[in-house]
Amino acid sequence: MRIISYNVNGLRAAFKKGFIDWLKTNPADIICLQETKATKDDIDVKQLDALGFHHHWFSAHKKGYSGVAVFSKIKPDQVITGNGHKESDDEGRVIQLDFGDIRLINAYFPSGTSGDLRQQFKYTWLDELQTWLDKLKKKHPKIILCGDYNIAHEAIDIHDPKGNKNSSGFLPEERDWMTRFLESGWIDSFRVFHKEPHRYSWWSQRFPTVRENNKGWRIDYITVTAPLKDQLVDADIYPDVKHSDHCPVYLELKH
C-alpha cells in the first residue's frame, strides 16, 4: 500500500499546474489531499475516473476554503466524513477511510498564523483530536494519520529554528503537543527511514527564492500507530513535485 499526503493549496490551481499529469505517473495507490478549496462539482472528475480512482470528498461549508479529499485505486470498505467535532467538520478538516484492518485518517490541521483567535482554535482542535484518537485506537489499533499538521516538531524540521521560535507552527506549546502525541503511541514514519536534516515539505510563497534555497519547514506527516511499525517499508518527501507551496510526503507499507 503506497500512500501520499499532499496539501495542494487549491485543487483547481493544482490542476492548472499539471496535477493530472503527475497522477498519471502512478505516484501512489492512495492520494490524501488537504486544502482542496473545492467541492467535487468544481473539478473535472472524469479525469480521475479515467485513471481508476475512487474519489471521496469532504469540503468546508465556506466556499474556496479548507477541505480534504482522498483519491484511491483501492476501494475503501467504509468512508466517514468528519470526526464529530462541529467546528472542525464545518471546515472540512477530517475524512476517514477503512481498508481492511487499517483506518486511514486524512486531516488538515488548523493554522494559527492569522491571529490569536485561530491560534486558540488550533490548540483546542489539537486537544480534541488527541482525545478522539485515544478512544479510536481502542477500536481500531492500526491507524494511519496523514495530513498537513501545521507544526514543525523539532529544530531539524525547520530551516531557521531560532528565527521562528515565536512563529505559529513552531511555538513551544505546539511542539510540546506533537511530542506528547508521538509519545502516546504514534510513529513519525519519515524519521524511521530518514534522520538527515534539511528535508522539508513546505516553503513560504512570500519570498520567491525560499524554495530554490530550500528554506522550508517539515509540517506534513504520515504517522502510524505502533501496531503498524513492522509493516513500514519506506517513506520519503518529494520536493521536486511542484503544484503547491507544499510537496507530497510518501509512505509505503505492507498490507
Mean pLDDT of all residues in 215-231: 98
Query: Edge-to-edge strand order for the sheet containing 220-225?
Result: 78-81, 94-99, 102-108, 143-148, 220-225, 186-188
In this prediction, residues 30-49 reach a mean pLDDT of 97
**Local confidence band at 208 (pLDDT 50, 70, 90 cut-offs):** confident
Cell numbers at 188, concatenated: 513519525
Do 52 and 58 touch, CB atoms closer than 8 A? no
CA distance 117 to 124: 11
The catalytic residue among 41, 49, 123, 148 is 148
Mean pLDDT of all residues in 6-15: 98
Please report, for the domain that includes residue 146, its CATH number: 3.60.10.10
CA gap 178, 193 in Å, rounded: 19
pTM greater than 0.85 (yes/no) = yes
Cell of residue 52, nine digits: 481508476
What is the number of domains present in the chain? 1
> Does the annotation count 148 as an active-site position?
yes
pLDDT band at 97 (very low <50, low <70, confident <90, very high): very high
Domain extent for 167: 2-253
Considering 6, 108, 200, 221, which one is annotated as catalytic? 108
Cα→Cα distances 11→8, 121, 151, 176, 222, Å: 6, 25, 22, 32, 20
Whether 108 is a known active-site residue: answer yes
Q: How confident is the model at residue 255 (pLDDT cuts 50, 70, 90)?
A: confident
Mean pLDDT (whole number) for 197-217: 95
**Segment 228-242, tens digit of pLDDT:** 999 999 999 999 999
